[in-house]
Amino acid sequence: MSIPEKNYPRTGDTQTIYLNTVITNPNIKVGDYTIYNDFVNSPIDFEKNNVLYHYSINQDQLIIGKFCSIACGAKFIFTSANHALKSLSTYPFPLFWEEYDLEQKAVTQAWDKKGDIVIGNDVWIGYEAVIMSGVQIGNGAIIGTRAVVTKDVEPYTIVGGVPAKPIKRRFDDEIINKLQSLCWWDWDKKQLREKLNDIMCGNIDQL
């Protein structure tokens, strides 16, 4: 499926954007048709306002799948926000290597490395939710408003709270397995259009 050529999917709506049309950081990868809505700041500034402590020295990645819906104020917090717990002090001395005559390569000793944030396809991330470094979220999951996600989320699972915990699964095992197998988000636009009504109406047997 080709990447959308336009930034804004809705005529006259400059608060909602196709996210992959404005990403410039090579360590942020976003799938086709994933949208971000922001009614406070410009959605074009997603990298600056929503992807935090994402220092290039770590080479960690934010990977977001196709057809995700990301609400205003959702934040993705990366490794360098995590001060090193093995240290006897929480102060990040290695960040200020020049001040203390440390070697520049010591910078990454200031934090505990957690890893990439990986978001599956068709994930809905609610208003002001926070996703922490190292977390993986499965296809079809829903992250509740202002949830703080510190652990992996299973496919088609709804989570909420601080820290986020499972509330319920959206479907039973049979439907989840079928959806995982179908991977409708990889269909071409013609096939998707033909089956769109069945997707929206929950007609799994018609897919």
**Which residues are catalytically annotated?**
83
DSSP state at residue 140:
T
- Would you state the structure tokens that stand for residue 164, as one six-digit string? 């986020």
Distance of CA 38 to the CA centre of its chain: 15
The CA-to-CA distance between both ends of the chain, in Å, stands at 18
- Would you state the structure tokens that stand for residue 61, as one six-digit string? 């990645």
Please count the other Cβ atoms lying within 10 Å of the Cβ belonging to residue 134: 19
Burial annotation 13-24 (CB, 10 A radius, 16+ → b, else e): eeebbbbbbbbe
Q: CA 92, CA 17: separation in Å to the nearest integer?
A: 36
Distance of CA 192 to the CA centre of its chain: 23
Burial annotation 175-193 (CB, 10 A radius, 16+ → b, else e): ebeebeeeebbebeeeebe
Rg of the Cα trace of the chain? 19
